[in-house]
Structure 1
């Protein structure tokens, strides 16, 4: 089991490839559709994801895995082809989001706790039967004048560990996502505070993973980058973000972890790409770094598609471009000039 889990993790971290996060909940995708005046219908959700998954060059050359929702894992394209079959043809590993969302933590700290452990063992068995090779669970950590509390960090770390060991029991690689979100109180969410909180969260997460008996060689980490809050006046350089993020990871992430795939966390498309590329230009890291982006891969493609199947070719060109740029970033060879020229 250990060997097969590590093999899946290594394939997800194949050089120059990354993970497409296409696991938007119905509520989240409704908000994205609303921005381009589209209703949130089953057929439109299907068409949108079909457009992404049938972007042949992007999927075969730059994407190693796709995080799906329960709906999408069992969904079929308009011609009746299962999405799982489309991904298999592109040699892309299907993954599955298994948490049930983040809910208010008891108390007055404005924090959240992720739920979904009840019945997870049975659900994972089913997902494995459907071909899921990896899974994702997102913990949400808030920064404000009283948060994060020790209780919230420990509770989310414990849930991540329980999720991870259940995944490995089912033969599924757990992607562990403890996200320090960027929309906290701007007066408290400095880059310095983000670095300290991110380090604390990672330290507690790996402590719980070890206590639970999780095989670190059969998992992946999906963390936030070290950034000031999105409403902060701080404007760090790309190099500073890269340096601070790598420093925190070196201090708190064991070398046994096969790889790190970052979330984009509210960054613009180019910011997410440039920060990743700069991190990959820093030498001496014990693990490869790549992307596990949602919005930062899909933004332009979503607007170009605009709910019309006849726009598939143009939208696929836009998606392929962003996938290629992030592939270059995963290799540390991206430049803004290359991006704009392409």
Structure 2
């Protein structure tokens, strides 16, 4: 390895480790324009460029959140926006010791020839976009692949797993080439009626395929983070597994398929309630030590109370920030296995 590549890898490793620093995790504030519109609609707020900017500003300027938030994944629009004082969000975050990141995929689209399955697009032009995002301050990125379970139709197919793993690996290699840490997100959706056992089997297959692709593409595992689903029953399943069962199944799956070279695993919440996502993470960390840091990269599970509190009312902006701080604090405690129902009930003064 030449000196330039060695230096770049050292930078990737440093940023990856900082993102999973003890007691900290990542805020996913990278909702697309369509998704954030749904979130704002749910609280009666019209989605405009300014309301989207203001809502993100409330989250990103929460005093003390940097104690528990190591990085923030931003959407393209948000990375180009600024605080009310005219400070670019990326600069504001860096001033607080928080690392700016960027969502770079173009969304999951129907997989040709495979009804009911999707593959994530956005590789065309990615090298140039990553260069621009680096200039705008982004130090890590995220790409999400989605895997649907439908046992009656034999889904997911091996081809769907391979197609998404290939896209994730190409994205990761391009990120590392640009000096940006890739978050690799293969999400097995929890929307079906499948059991936790089926989810574990599909997650096993997914992770096995993804890491094989990463190896084939020459991706340095020391300079990535993995963002997987937890192993959990589908929302429509007749039996929902208990928190301890979810924690044990998830850790078992990760131990079997995630190399120890990966610095950290930052879970997505995948539609779980705020408190349940925190409880699952807490239980997994109590089972440690693990070969990798077990952290969070939550979106709705960190934001929902703040959004509901604010609901477009500027008089409630500070209360919304307190709600966000509380969720960040609870998840920070779960990073150490120190979350409790008593802590959950506390509220910032």
Query: Normalization by structure 2: what TM-score?
Result: 0.95
Aligned to 1:20: 27
Aligned to 2:3: none
Aligned to 1:84: 90
Farther-moved stretch of structure 1 (224-233 vs 305-314) = 305-314
Pairwise CA distance, 1:235: 2.0
Pairs within 5 Å for 1:27-38: 27-38=34-45
Pairwise CA distance, 1:236: 1.3
1:49 and 1:286 mapped to 2: Cα distance?
34
1:201 and 1:283 mapped to 2: Cα distance?
24
Aligned to 1:114: 120
Question: Aligned pair 1:340/2:340, yes or no?
Answer: no
Question: Aligned pair 1:155/2:163, yes or no?
Answer: yes
Pairwise CA distance, 1:180: 0.1
Alignment gaps of 5+ in structure 2: 1-7
How many residues are aligned here? 338
1:284 and 1:250 mapped to 2: Cα distance?
12
Aligned to 2:4: none
1:159 and 1:108 mapped to 2: Cα distance?
17
Alignment gaps of 5+ in structure 1: none
1:56 partner SS: coil
Aligned to 1:171: 179
Pairwise CA distance, 1:271: 0.4
1:90 and 1:308 mapped to 2: Cα distance?
26
2:288 and 2:87 mapped to 1: Cα distance?
44
Aligned to 2:5: none
Pairwise CA distance, 1:108: 4.5
Aligned to 1:283: 288
CA RMSD of aligned residues (A): 0.9
Conservation of the 8 A alpha-carbon contact between 1:135 and 1:174: yes
Question: Aligned pair 1:141/2:151, yes or no?
Answer: no
Query: Among 190, 201, 208, which residue is 1:182 paired with?
Result: 190
Pairwise CA distance, 1:73: 0.7
Aligned to 1:125: 131
1:198 and 1:108 mapped to 2: Cα distance?
19
Query: Normalization by structure 1: what TM-score?
Result: 0.97
Conservation of the 8 A alpha-carbon contact between 1:56 and 1:90: no
